Every structure is written in C-alpha cells, then in structure tokens.
Structure 1
Amino acid sequence: MSDIFRELLKKIGSGNHTGENLTRAEAATATSMMLLGEPTPAQIGAFLIAHRIKRPTGEELAGMLDAYDQIGPKLQPIDSPRPIIVLGIPYDGRTRTAPISPIVALLLAAAGQPVLMHGGDRLPTKYGLPLVEIWHGIGVNWTELPLETTQQVFEQTGIGFVYTPRHFPLTKRIWEYRDQLGKRPPFATMELIWCPYAGDAHIIAGFVHPPTEAMFQAALADRGVTKFTTIKGLEGSCELPRDRTAIIGLSMLGTTNEETVAPIERLHLMARDYGFSSKNVPLLGIEELIAQMQEVLRGIPSELTQTALWNGGFYLWRSGICDSMQLGIAKAEKLLIEGAVAAKLLQLTQVVQSLSSVHNSKLLTVEN
C-alpha cells in the first residue's frame, strides 16, 4: 500500500463537506503512481470512482497531462509551415453515427496540413468502433509499428497515429479498471486534450457536456496552450454534426491573457446553411462503413461524402489553408474528385507497408 497515494485519495474522497481538489502537482503525482502501478488495486479503483464523483478540475487535468508528458510517448517535430493538428477522439469509439475522421485526416494531409491521431482498441464503456479499426479497413495497419517507425511515417506522409496499446502500454492498467468500474474515469476526459507531439500543435478536442469544455479551457490555460479548438461533436468526437447546430470554441491562436481559462470565440455552424442536408449518416457496421468510405475516396456523391465535405471544409478553413468555409468546402470537393485524397491514402499505405517490412526484417536478423 502507498501511504502517499492514500493521502491523495483521502483528499478527493472525503465527501462534499471535507473533500478537496488536488493541486496540479498532486494530480501529476497521483497519475504517475497509477500508471506505474504503485498503489494497490483497491486504492486505484477507489481513486478513479471518487474522482469521477467529485468531478475533475481544470487544474487537475493539467496535472494529469503533466504526468502523461513525463511518462508517455511523443512524436518529434516534423518540418511543417503550420502547427500540426492533433485530433482528440473519444476512446470508446462510435456506435450510432458513421465516423469520417480518417478521411478528413487524409484530406488535410493532401492539402499540406499534417495530422496526428491517437487511440487504442475497443474500450469501455461503449466498446464502439475505434479509429484504428477504420484505418485498418481502408488499408493502413498502425498497430504493429514501433514509435520510431510511426515517426518516419509521419515525416514522409504528414499523418501519424500513436497507438496507445503499443506506444503507451502503461495506460492499459487504467482501462482495465474502467471496464471493471463501468464508468469513464477523468482519464478519459484528459486524453481528449492530450498532445503526444513535441512540436508546435493545434489541439482539436470533442466534447458532449458544456462543463467539459470549461475544464479543457482551464487545463490548457494552466499549461500555456493557446492553439486549440473545441467541438460539441458527434458522440463527443471532433466531427461536426449535420442534424443540429455545431457549437465550436475557437481559441485566438497564439494569444494569451491573464484569465484562469484560455479565451475562446464562439462559433455556431448549421449544415443546411452550406447546402447540406440536416441528417447524420448512421453507422450500420464496419463493412458497410468501409464500402462507403471507398466511395468517398473515389469522389462518388453520397451522404457520407457530404459529411466529408462538411467536416473537411471546416478544417481546411480552421487550419488557415482556406479563407472561408465556402472555399474550404470547394477545395475539399476538388481534392476528392481529382483523386488527391485517394493518392494520399495510397502513399500512406505504401510507406507503412515498406517501413513495416524493413522493421520486420531487422527483427528477423536480430532473432537469427
């Protein structure tokens, strides 16, 4: 049993009248200890459920991110004229609406905007469809690449994926508790704004509940992060909905102030104002989704193509590649119709396969 951890647990688990929030340093200590398995299972389980009931603060999220920065993996800076985009996607996947983020990542990379994603396999509480399975379905297997090889892929293609089961296996312990508890711990919230990149980055984070966005702002302000976007997206993702107003928080990129939260400008977008129908594409299964994505990549008009244009247009504008949403949507359509997005996927697939072969050959040589 860890006496140090017990004191931190007592602090957050003492109830409404005597309980206290952790300081940033204390939250970092607690996170590091849990990742390293220093407390007992009883202590870790009690901490995770107590922290969820109490609700984390922005300062606590900042401390948790500090621990991830110290212990976790990071891709190194690549040559890019603009900050890379880090897409924070929920870790229990999608169950109701068809994801489009891999297509958006390919579209952005084809336009010269590097994108970094991160995530793992199907996880509680939803056990929904994760990004890594979608990538695999369209021909890109991120799961077998060591971090050094992922770095090379990122440098050559402008697309990276930090696969946590391989690149940050210490997190597996936390997800086992999450399964047993049946609830998302604050780690799930924190990882939406985690940035496994050592260079200049623009963090995109999805959320469901407004208090989560406020926590993001406070945590990012604590850490001095000024480039971020928050999106009340589909199933808490970074994807703009079509059936309702997309509520977006835009940081004033590169600005700082003395407030306790990072400043944002509120933006509301309606799909119908840009010529799209007010309907989200349902998720009917991985096989059908991959078939739909192949149509999108071929430039064939479809409901999922409309979702790709809606999201692609926004991100092309937000990244500064296009001066307006309208121009972003037009450019996204051109990139799809002219085959630039499909060509980026082909390049990515070939680079991953080539570097994987080199890595496997080296392993065989070492084993022999």
Structure 2
Amino acid sequence: MRTVELQFSDLLKEIARGRKGSRDLTLEEAHLAARYIIENKATPAQIGAFLASERIKTESSEELFAFSNALRLHVVTLNSDSGRIVQGLDAAGPFDGRQNSFFATIPAALIVRAAGVPILLHGVKSPLPPKKGTGLFDVLTALHLPLGTSAQDIQCTYQQLGISFLDVEAVCAPLRRLRPIREELYFRTLLNTVEKTLNPANHARLIIGIFHLTQRRAIFGLLSRITYQEILMVQGVEGSEDLYVHRPSVLWKVTRDHTEEITINPGEMGLMPTINRINLSPSEQAQAILHIISGNPHPLRDLVVYNAGVRLWFSRCTSTWQQGVELARYLLDTGQAQKILQRWQAWKPYSD
C-alpha cells in the first residue's frame, strides 16, 4: 500500500499546538520538514510559523540534525578531495555579531594557522538579527583582507592559504534565500544553531560558541551526529567561541560516542585577567589585532594567547592547553602569525 507523503501543513500542525499540545517531530518528519523549507516548497508564512513554533516548543536533537543534514546537501565543497578528512579547525561564533567584546578569535586563528592547522572562520557578511552588532566580516575588512564575493573566492583562498573567512550564505544558497524571513522574524531560530555545523571543508574539528545552556542536551545530541570527529562547545563571550581570560571556563568536548566536561583556569598560567567587555569599532578592533600580531605588548594580548592556546591544544598541536599557550606566545613573538596575516592581505581572490 502506497504511503501518502505528509504535507508541510501537517507537520506544522504537530509543532504549533502550543507548549502543552505540541510534540517533537520524528527524524523522518523533521527531514521532510527541512526539505520543504530548504527546497523552497513552503511559503514564507509557513516557514515563519514553523520557526516560531519550534522556538516556543524548543527544538529536539533530531530536528536540529535533520536541518543540519539537509542544509549540508546544498553546501559548496571547499576541499578538492571531498571524501578526505582534513585535520583542520572550524571556528563558529554567533552570526549576529558582537556589541561589547573584542574578536580574539581572529588573531587566534592566525596563530593556529601559523602552527600548520587549516582554519575557517564562519560567519556572514551582514550580521543577522537579533543583535546585528559588529560582524566578523567588518573586522576582517578593516584589516584589509581580500575576502572576495563568491564561493569560488572562498574555496580558492582556503586551498591556497589554508585560512579563510567562510561566508556561509555564499556557500549555502538556501541560507541566503531564507535571510529575508529571518530578518523579519528578528529572533533566534534553529537556523542559528545548524548554520554553524555544515563543515564544507570536511575538517576534523569544530569549536562552537553557544548562547544559553537551556538547550544543552539537544545541542549535544546534534553535535554527536554531525561530520566532525571532535567538537569543543564553549559558552563564551557574547555567545562566541572566545573564552574569558579573567575567570575559569567550562568546556564540553563532544565526539560521536562521548561528551566530556572540562574546566580550565587561565589563572594557572598567570595570564592578565582582562575582562573582555569592550565596545570597539571595526577599525579599533583591527588596530588592536595588528598591534598584538606584531608581537607588541597590549592589554588584550593574554586574551589572544589564551584562546589560541586552547585551540592549539584542541587541534592536537600540544598535549595540554598550557603547552598551547606557550606555543601561541612563541608563534607571536617569532613573527610567524604576522606572516600569515601578511600573506592573506597580499592574496588576490578571483573577484578582486
């Protein structure tokens, strides 16, 4: 007997019955809902209602995984050998930008690349709601980095330099198409989580920032099923992947089979306990980064060294995060991180 495929309205009805009457979709139903939305088979009103209802109900790990999996099918592959796992790192913070903090993730990425690890900084060119703060792209542009305009630019830059800004909307057309709906809704949806998990270069590792721990179990369920070998989840500054340097942090290392909670204390290394609550323009952010990467003293240097050290440890460059901090200092002081920045500044992508 032939099974009649559910319509999108049938799926919407199940999650939109209110907090008490709604239910989570099964994995099969969630995959179907994701296809309706991603393949443009649902109306804008239906998509908005679905995202709002999921926000009220709260998303399950199966629903998050279904959308992550469906979006990944539409991602441009950056690695020329798409079947090969690259021992690289993806860094994914909030795509709605920042309002009161320094982007330590940028100089930290330069240090990680100086250690030989390929790295992608995930984001979008124009910050999304609800924050719509200073974006990663804004600061990288202020550093006079040639970021290009297309998926081909990103692919070429990554393949030649081993480091690039990843405009997720450039490599995943459905996310670009869904932006107007997200702009009108003006709140976080399940897309804010799953857009960080697409792994276009088939990297082995992801460091990901989260806003709140209320959905921790669902996010763990998602992260344990996606394509990365290891994921480091951080409740960092403004929901980013940047750790605080003035106090201990709790991290979660997630693999397919295990989730480990780790507490690290930067005070063990005598690092300057700078509180990363700073309102800087993109040009001021860039000036601070240039000063730090040049190896000069700076109030934010230890914040960068600490975050780079944790990334180096997570990327298996060192056995401990403390050793990672020492390696980060060395790569700064010997000018190797600065050379990465200079090579990137001199690069000419296709669209330039």
TM over 0.5: yes
Q: Write the distance in 1 (CA, Å) between the matches of 2:309 and 2:166.
A: 25
Residue among 219, 222, 233 paired with 1:230: 233
Residue among 308, 315, 340 paired with 2:336: 340
Residue among 208, 219, 229 paired with 1:216: 219
- 2:131 is aligned to 126
Q: Write the distance in 2 (CA, Å) between the matches of 1:46 and 1:81.
A: 38
CA contact (8 A) 1:143 1:166 kept: no
Q: Tell me the amino acid that sits aligned with residue 156 of structure 1.
A: Q
Residue among 291, 294, 297 paired with 2:287: 291
- 1:175 is aligned to 179
Paired residues for 1:231-250 under 5 Å = 231-250=234-253
Q: Tell me the amino acid that sits aligned with residue 46 of structure 1.
A: A
SS at match of 2:196: helix
Residue among 195, 198, 214 paired with 2:199: 195
- 1:205 is aligned to 208
1:53–1:159 distance in 2 versus 1, CA, 3 Å: same
C-alpha displacement of 1:63:
0.2
Q: Tell me the amino acid that sits aligned with residue 193 of structure 2.
A: T
Residue among 153, 156, 173 paired with 1:152: 156
The normalised TM-score by structure 2 is: 0.90
- 1:365 is aligned to none
- 2:297 is aligned to 301
1:60–1:142 distance in 2 versus 1, CA, 3 Å: same
Q: Write the distance in 2 (CA, Å) between the matches of 1:38 and 1:102.
A: 38
CA contact (8 A) 1:61 1:190 kept: yes
Q: Tell me the amino acid that sits aligned with residue 47 of structure 2.
A: I
C-alpha displacement of 1:81:
9.3
Q: Tell me the amino acid that sits aligned with residue 122 of structure 1.
A: P
Say yes or no: does 1:279 pair with 2:284: no
User: After the TM superposition, which of the residue ranges 212-221 and 37-46 deviates more from structure 2?
Assistant: 212-221
Paired residues for 1:9-88 under 5 Å = 9-76=12-79, 83-88=87-92
Q: What percentage of residue pairs aligned between the two structures are identical?
A: 26
Q: Tell me the amino acid that sits aligned with residue 135 of structure 2.
A: P
1:17–1:324 distance in 2 versus 1, CA, 3 Å: closer
Q: Write the distance in 1 (CA, Å) between the matches of 2:168 and 2:261.
A: 32
C-alpha displacement of 1:71:
1.7
- 1:366 is aligned to none
Residue among 269, 272, 280 paired with 2:264: 269
User: After the TM superposition, which of the residue ranges 157-166 and 59-68 deviates more from structure 2?
Assistant: 157-166
Q: Write the distance in 2 (CA, Å) between the matches of 1:193 and 1:280.
A: 29
CA contact (8 A) 1:35 1:170 kept: yes
Q: Write the distance in 1 (CA, Å) between the matches of 2:171 and 2:226.
A: 23
CA contact (8 A) 1:147 1:167 kept: yes
1:193-219: per-residue Cα shift (whole Å, max 9, x none)?
33223x342121111322333222201
The normalised TM-score by structure 1 is: 0.87
Q: Write the distance in 2 (CA, Å) between the matches of 1:214 and 1:191.
A: 18
Residue among 306, 310, 314 paired with 1:314: 310
1:78–1:321 distance in 2 versus 1, CA, 3 Å: farther
Residue among 4, 7, 11 paired with 1:4: 7
Which stretches in structure 2 are left out of the alignment for 5+ residues? none
SS at match of 1:117: strand
Q: Write the distance in 1 (CA, Å) between the matches of 2:119 and 2:65.
A: 23
Q: Write the distance in 2 (CA, Å) between the matches of 1:332 and 1:24.
A: 43
- 2:106 is aligned to 102
C-alpha displacement of 1:78:
6.5
- 2:323 is aligned to 327
C-alpha displacement of 1:76:
1.8
1:293-345: per-residue Cα shift (whole Å, max 9, x none)?
11011111112211110101111111111122222111111111111111011
C-alpha displacement of 1:157:
1.4
1:17–1:63 distance in 2 versus 1, CA, 3 Å: same
Q: Write the distance in 2 (CA, Å) between the matches of 1:137 and 1:29.
A: 42
Which stretches in structure 1 are left out of the alignment for 5+ residues? 258-262, 361-368
C-alpha displacement of 1:264:
1.7
Answer 1 or 2: which has greater helix percent.
Answer: 1
SS at match of 1:201: strand
CA RMSD after TM alignment: 2.3
